[in-house]
Structures are given as C-alpha cells and as structure tokens.
Amino acid sequence: MTGAASEGIGASVRRKEDLRFLTGRGRFVGDIDVAGAACARIVRSPHAHARIRGIDSAQAMAVAGIVAVLTGEDMAADGIGSMPCMWAITSGDGTAMAEPPRWALARGTVRHVGEPVAVVVAETADAAADGAERLDIDYETLAAVVSAKEALAEGAPQLHDEAPGNQCARWTGGNMDAVDEAFARAAHVTSIDLVNNRLIGAAIETRAAIGAYEPATGEYTLYDTTQAPHMIRRSVAGQLGVPDAKLRVISPDMGGGFGYKGKFYPEETIVVWAARRTGRPVRWIGDRGESFISDNQARDHMTSAEIALDRDGNFLGLRVATLANVGAYLSTFGASIPSAIYSAMLAGVYRTPAVSVEVTTVFTNTVPTDAYRGAGRPEACYVLERLADKAAGELGIDRAEIRRRNLIPSEAMPYKTPIGPTYDCGDFPRIMERALEMSDYREFEDRRSAAAKAGRRRGIGIANYVDSSGVAPSRLAGASGGRLGMFESAQIRVDAGGGVQVMLGTHNHGQGHATTFAQIAAERLGVPLDRIEVIEGDTAMVPIGSGTFGSRSIAVGGSALHRAADKIIAKAKRIAAHLLEAADDDIDFLDGVFAVAGTDRSLSFEQVAHAALVPHDFPHEELEPGLDETSVYDPPNFAFSNGSHVCEVEITPETGAVEIVGYWVVDDVGTVINPMVVEGQVHGGLAQGIGQALSETCRYDEASGQLLSGSFMDYAVPRADDLPAFVSELDESQPCTHNPLGAKGVGESGTIGAPAAVVGAILDALAPLGVRDIEMPATPARIWRAICDAG
Ligand code: MCN
C-alpha cells in the first residue's frame, strides 16, 4: 500500500485539523481583529408581542464612546430590503403560503422576545452595552400566543395581517383517497397523539458577525459564523441591493453549527449596513443569553397519526396530521422543514402502500424555527416508530417482528414510496437484524428479570430510520418550492511543486472536512495527505457553492471533488503524454504515477505538476498550461442513509431516573471515507437525539411569551455521564447508486433514530406498570408522575 492509499478512502486517518484546535490555534470570528472596528450591541425586544410607539436615543447617544444608535426606521430610510425566505410552500388547495416580511431591525411591531429592535455601535463592548441599556423604547404590549394549537384558535392574538388566523400554509401530501380506502378495509387501527418538543441549538461558539465596508470600491466584507457563506452572500447582498460580487463572506473556524447556523440572521445584515452607515467596521459577538432568544429553534410539532393494519400486523395505510410552529417569522427554510422535508420521510423504511399527510404551519410569538440536526427526519421517524410500537402492543406482536413484517425488502429497490421519494438502494431488514443481534435482543427478557430483582425497570426500544441525506437535487428543491440551487462546487488547484489545494463550497464546523476531503483527493491523485489543503468558507476563494447542511457535504461536495479529480487526471494525462511523447490514450495513471502502457517510461505526479506550470515546450494551441479544474455537481436524487437503533434503559421507579445501559446502532452510509470520523458523527448525533428524548426542551410562558428555558440552568443538554458507551457498526454493502463515491451522508443519522429508540425503551420498561405514553423530554419528574398516575 502506498502512503497515499493508506490515507485514502476507507482509512481511519486522524483529523488533520485537530492539532490547531487542541493547541488553541483555531481562528474563529471572535479571533479576527479588523483594524478600527467598533462594537455592536443588539437591543432586543423584551416583549413577545408589542407595538413600538417610539424610540428615544438621546440618553444612549450621551454615553461616552457611542458611535451610533440605529433603528429599523434608519434601515427603511436606507432602502434595506426584507430578509428572504428561501422555500415557498403551497397549500393543498393551491394557495401560496403567507409570507409576511421579516426585517433585520423591527419596523413598527415586535413579535418575539429577542427580536432585534436597534443596534448600538460604540468604541467598546462595554460602552455599547451601556448605550443599549439607556435606549428608551416605548412599547405598547400586545397579547401573545406561543403554541401552534392556540394560535389557530378563534380569538387568538394575530401576528401578521398577511396571515389571517396565524396560518402560514396547509401543506398536503400523498394520496388521501388511497389512505381512506386502506382504513376502510383495515382489521385494526392504531392512533397516537405526539408532541415533538421544541429544541434550542447549543453550539460551543455563539453566533458572531463582523461587517466592513470600503467606500472607495463599494465592497463589503462579512466575517460570519455561518455554514453556508454563499447563501448568506445572496441574502445580504439582496437586502443591500448590491451585486453578490460586492460582498465577500468569510466563515472561518466555527465551533459547531448543527443546522441552525446555516440560516439567515438579522445580525449579518445589521453589521455590514452599520459599517457602511458609520464608516467603521462593526463587530458583534453574540453572548449565550442572546443565543437562547435569537438562534433559530427547532421541531415543535403536535401530531395526530393513525395507521391501518391487517390482522397480521401488515401496514396498510398511514394518515398524519401535524401542527408545526414556525415561530414569529419564516426563517430561511422555516416553511419547508416541517412540510416538504418532514413529509417526504413519512414512509420511512416500511412498505406502507398508502400514506397521506397534512401539515399546518403556524405563526406564534416565539423565535423562528428552522433546520436543526435532522430537520424533519427525526420528527417523521418518531411518528412511525412510536406507531409501530403501539400497534405491536395492541396486536400482541413482538416489536421487532411487526417491523420485520413491514420493512421494504432490498429486492424491492429502487422503491418508490407513496409519499414521494424513490429510494435507490438499502437493505433495511439486514440492518435491523444486525442491530438486534448486536444488542442480544432475544435474551432481553432475562435482563429485564434480573433488573426487576434489583428493583429496577428495564426496557428495550428499537428505531429504524432512513434519511434523505445529501440534500441537493436542485430539481427536487425547485419542484417543492425551493428558491435556490442545491449543487456543490469543488475546485482542485495543483501547484508547481505538486501541492494540492482543494476548494469547496461546503463548510467545516466539526465534521472533519479538512481530513476527509483530503482523503478523497489523496486517493484519486495519489498525493500524500499532508500535501493537500482543503479550503472552505470564503466566497472570494470559492466563487459558488451551497454550504453544509442536510448531511450533504460528502454526497454532493465529495462527488464534485471526485469529478474535479477526474478532470485533473485527464488533463495531467495529456501533459504526461506530451512529455513522454506518447498518445494520450496510452497513458495509464496509478498511485500517483503516469506511465506509458507496456513500457517503463513514467513520470511522477510532481513532475507532471511542475511541467504544467513550467510549460517550456508546450504546444500551446493544443495544450494549455496549468492543472486547475472545477466541477459543479447536482445529483439526481438524495442519498438514502439508513440504520437501526436499539436502546436499553433501566429506570429507578422511586425517582423516575433513567439510565441508558446499552445503545447499539448499525448505519448504512454507503461507502465510508473515514470510519473514525463517521463514528464520531454517529456519536454526536446520538447525543443530540438522546438530549431531545431525555432532557432538552424549550419552554415559553403561555401568558407572557417569555422564554422560561433561557439558560443552561433551565435547558438541559446531555452531559457525558448521561450517555453510555455506544456500540456502532457500519454496513457498506449498499453504496449509493447514483454518485461517484457511493457515499451517503452521516451527519444527522444518530439524531434521527435516537428519540424514538429511547422513548420506546422507556415505555417498554414502564409497560408492566400500565404506562402507555410519555412526552419528550422524558425527565425523571415526568416518568415518576406517569408511574404514580398509572397507579
Ligand atoms: N463521511 C464519511 N463517509 C460517509 C459519510 C460521511 O467519511 N459515507 C464523513 C464526511 O467526509 C464528513 C463527515 O463524515 O467529514 C460528515 O459528512 P456528511 O454526512 O456529508 O455531513 P456534512 O459534512 O454535510 O455535515 C452536516 C451535518 C449536519 S446537517 C449537522 S446539523 C451537523 C453534522 O453534520 N452538525 C455538526 N455534524 C456535526 N458535527 C459537529 N462536530 N458539529 C456540528 O455542528
């Protein structure tokens, strides 16, 4: 094995980027020192719903060091546009969704606690904070509503003139007639009401943005904590009314993003506009308190679902009705996550022949919701797996067995689901059987009995998931209302010394891209890993791209890179053919060596790279100098990662405390580039899914709309000692059939299956006590209460 091969696809190479991070040499937005920058403090609404009667900035302006106090009126006067929503869904009856404007600084009315109302710019952060405190804003408070159900009720406070009854849209999908027919002939119907709890992202690094403006050229620079610099460029340039080329967005190292940092935020617009207004670079570093009231939140579904079955437990039809809380405004993908994205996954891994869904998206006086790790797929998985468990209980069928009877067999691939997507490949039965085997599912009752002897309630849960990873196809996005392209770009540039730069439109904020993309280039070009540099997160270096979200970087960006490597190899072969005085077709390329087939004449990659930029004797009419190629890839379909989770818990009945005593997961993510990185991604995803199941929830006071879970004292992310040692396995038997790597995404896998597996295990543990339902998060208090109530 050559050096490159041992570092290429499939090798568990240690992450190249970790040395910098572990030695404190990361370069985050907060580390960037822009000369002459002033500090911004965002003044946020303390009310959930209020009219702004007036803003008096006299006292704020009197604070020493204040540069400016700017409001929504100033923004309006400068003609700054509204923040765009990038996905427009259509109701079942064909009407367009209600799309009220969202301004970076409120104009006239505020609709959630934390909404930006003004920005105070000052010489120091302390002066800005002092100025913000002294800003006198006269509010007329209005009644607020925080739950989707109540917002739809008669007489509920109304948020937007454009959205009568607070309804954004009523999305429908699937075939309702076929579902009605399935229910009419069912031997059994299982129904369930579920809440998918609202979540708040909790990346280590809070959001931050620094804006700068150069009046001589009209150029703006935005340093930003974003997963999608090109999307942000489009949004902010659009609001400013300038061509994209006038705005450079740089997103350097970032301490986590989890989907919520991939969307448009007011502060991005505010800092560049304020920089233009004040003639100073403007720097905003959000604090943790601001995170809780200004970072997009997620999930928040109320769902009623029913499944029709025949006598043997075969699924015949599924009907789902969901109320989805989109918050006070439509965030970037806020309309699509609970509609197009969620509903597409409602067939799951099962061959239910008829599926229908109706999703009502609703405005409330809460922070907007949008994508957060999993984004619609954990919600769909939760509905399906909870229904499967409940139906099994009602029909007296083992929970693994009912799934077994309904899984889509691999022979049925490609499989067109009744709700939309066509799965290209996957062996769902094999994956579940392996997870059951690993967990020793068959012997579980012995473990339950042993735990009972010790006074503990032991339960086991199963969840099978499928993920529409590799989020891309521009065609599919467009068909469901997307207003953006979803391709990815990759450029490979080889220098005269044989060093390789790889530039992608994706963004690395913990996923290991600096390593895994380099592994792909190493494998394809036969160049050692340490000669390859991966560049992301700068629109000046990477002209076009879509970003990192929807577990798309490997399937879409990686595929673009693979194709760019094809082009590099093809060009390099032509150069080698010229140098070796052979025909292009006679050149073989293997392990970094170009050779004339059947001879011992060869050139190394370095020699060809050198000649490419030192082209002393090139026939320039036929052969251009340089080894620099770009590929833009837009796949034909999603990459359907899938897997099976088995979770085992023990509950102490006296306290309701849950301990996860075992967790096994088998994932099919197609071809694996770096098993160690993938395992890390699975672990991280599991931690987030377990957090949702056991401890995390965002709560607003129903009367005032104040956020009650506004700090880590109230919003409980899981800690290391809440988590077990995960047992994870990868199954590479089903590579994605339509991308050149065969890879499917993994970034969200763990998060998708975990809530259903954990809650399934808890309910199994409590079933003998008569507990039939538990709402997430299944906190000790809730479990203890459920035990007491069950008597
Ligand atoms: N990979 C691989 N082989 C595969 C699939 C993936 O080696 N078959 C590697 C990739 O090369 C990449 C990593 O695994 O290094 C994740 O790849 P992918 O599944 O394509 O996901 P993305 O890189 O697009 O990351 C997005 C995804 C999402 S949507 C969220 S949210 C998320 C996540 O990744 N947020 C994260 N993982 C996170 N991890 C960290 N540390 N921090 C976040 O904010």
Question: Strand, helix or coil at 762?
Answer: helix
Span from the CA of 747 to the centroid of ligand 1 (angstroms)? 4
| Ligand 1 and 550: CB distance under 6 A | yes
Which pLDDT does position 791 carry in this prediction?
A: 79
Angstrom CA distances, 714 to 289, 377, 632, 708, stand at 12, 26, 45, 7
Q: How confident is the model at residue 467 (pLDDT cuts 50, 70, 90)?
A: very high
Span from the CA of 324 to the centroid of ligand 1 (angstroms)? 26
Q: Which structure tokens are listed for 486?
A: 């979803």
| Ligand 1 and 745: CB distance under 6 A | yes
Span from the CA of 244 to the centroid of ligand 1 (angstroms)? 28
Span from the CA of 737 to the centroid of ligand 1 (angstroms)? 20
3-state DSSP of 697-709: CCCECCCCCCECC
Q: How confident is the model at residue 445 (pLDDT cuts 50, 70, 90)?
A: very high
Q: What is the mean pLDDT of residues 369-378?
A: 98
| Ligand 1 and 174: CB distance under 6 A | no
Contact 534, 514 (CB under 8 A): yes
Q: Which structure tokens are listed for 552?
A: 């798309």
Q: Could you give the angle at which helices 559-579 and 605-613 cross, rounded to 10 degrees?
A: 80
Alpha helices in 588-674 (DSSP H): 605-613
pLDDT per residue as tens digits for the range 97-131: 999 999 999 999 999 999 999 999 999 999 999 99
For the four alpha carbons of 177, 178, 183 and 185, in that order, the dihedral sign comes to positive
Which pLDDT does position 474 carry in this prediction?
A: 96
Q: 589 - beta bridge partners?
A: 594
Which pLDDT does position 5 carry in this prediction?
A: 57
Q: Going by CA atoms, what residue is nearest to atom 30 of ligand 1?
A: 258
* 0.85 exceeded by pTM: yes
Q: Which residues contact 377 (CB under 8 A, 6 or more apart)?
A: 341, 342, 345, 465, 467, 468, 748, 752
Flag whether pLDDT at 3 surpasses 80.
no
Q: What distance lies between CA 276 and its chain's CA centroid?
A: 32
Angstrom CA distances, 285 to 39, 126, 209, 235, 281, stand at 8, 12, 6, 20, 13
pLDDT per residue as tens digits for the range 222-274: 999 999 999 999 999 999 999 999 999 999 999 999 999 999 999 999 999 99
pLDDT above 70 as % of the chain: 99
Around Cβ 576, how many Cβ atoms within 10 Å? 29
What is the best residue among 295, 333, 509, 511 to mutate for testing ligand 1's pocket, by most ligand atoms within 8 Å of CB? 511
- Strands (E) in 719-758, as ranges, are 727-730
Q: How confident is the model at residue 574 (pLDDT cuts 50, 70, 90)?
A: very high
pLDDT per residue as tens digits for the range 167-226: 999 999 999 999 999 999 999 999 999 999 999 999 999 999 999 999 999 999 999 999
Contact 112, 290 (CB under 8 A): no
Q: What distance lies between CA 151 and its chain's CA centroid?
A: 27
Atom of ligand 1 nearest to the CA of 558: 11
Which pLDDT does position 620 carry in this prediction?
A: 87
Span from the CA of 551 to the centroid of ligand 1 (angstroms)? 6
Which pLDDT does position 586 carry in this prediction?
A: 97
Which pLDDT does position 157 carry in this prediction?
A: 98
- How far is 105 from 108, CA to CA, in rounded Å? 10
Atom of ligand 1 nearest to the CA of 520: 11
- How far is 668 from 413, CA to CA, in rounded Å? 15
Span from the CA of 339 to the centroid of ligand 1 (angstroms)? 23
Atom of ligand 1 nearest to the CA of 674: 7
Flag whether pLDDT at 1 surpasses 50.
no
Span from the CA of 600 to the centroid of ligand 1 (angstroms)? 43
| Ligand 1 and 301: CB distance under 6 A | no
Element (H, E) at 71: strand 66-71
What is the best residue among 337, 551, 676 to mutate for testing ligand 1's pocket, by most ligand atoms within 8 Å of CB? 551
Position 84: which residue type?
Answer: P
Atom of ligand 1 nearest to the CA of 684: 39
Which pLDDT does position 607 carry in this prediction?
A: 98
- How far is 319 from 309, CA to CA, in rounded Å? 12
Average pLDDT, whole number, for the chain? Answer: 97
Span from the CA of 260 to the centroid of ligand 1 (angstroms)? 14
Q: Going by CA atoms, what residue is nearest to atom 41 of ligand 1?
A: 510
Span from the CA of 628 to the centroid of ligand 1 (angstroms)? 27
Phi/psi at 363 (5° precision): -85, 140
pLDDT per residue as tens digits for the range 745-773: 999 999 999 999 999 999 999 999 999 99
Flag whether pLDDT at 2 surpasses 80.
no
pLDDT per residue as tens digits for the range 640-696: 999 999 999 999 999 999 999 999 999 999 999 999 999 999 999 999 999 999 999
Which pLDDT does position 4 carry in this prediction?
A: 52
